[in-house]
Amino acid sequence: MEDLKKNQFIQEEEIKREYQAYLDSFDLVARRSASHLMINISSERTKEQALDLANQIKKK
């Protein structure tokens, strides 16, 4: 086993290539999800405004 270790050598450039391939394989798109949103209806927001806001959010 020790002889096998002595005969192994990895070039620095090969390490860099593999690391870059590893980084390139990531999907960097941010994702968010929500199952419930609470939109309050108050003196400042009517039911219609709340529904409009909910529809705008849904389209995104």
Domain ranges of the chain: 1-27
Strand, coil or helix: 22: helix
Alpha carbon 24 to its chain's center? 14
Separation of alpha carbons 25 and 14, rounded Å: 17
- In sign, the C-alpha dihedral spanning 16, 21, 26, 29 is positive
| pLDDT given at position 32 | 78
Residue 37 has, within 13 A of its CA and on its CB side, a CA count of 12
Q: Is the pTM of this model over 0.75?
A: no
pLDDT in tens, 18-31: 999 999 888 877 77
| pLDDT given at position 55 | 94
> Which of 15, 57, 27, 21 lies closest to 39 in space, CA to CA?
57
Beta bridge partners of 45: 42
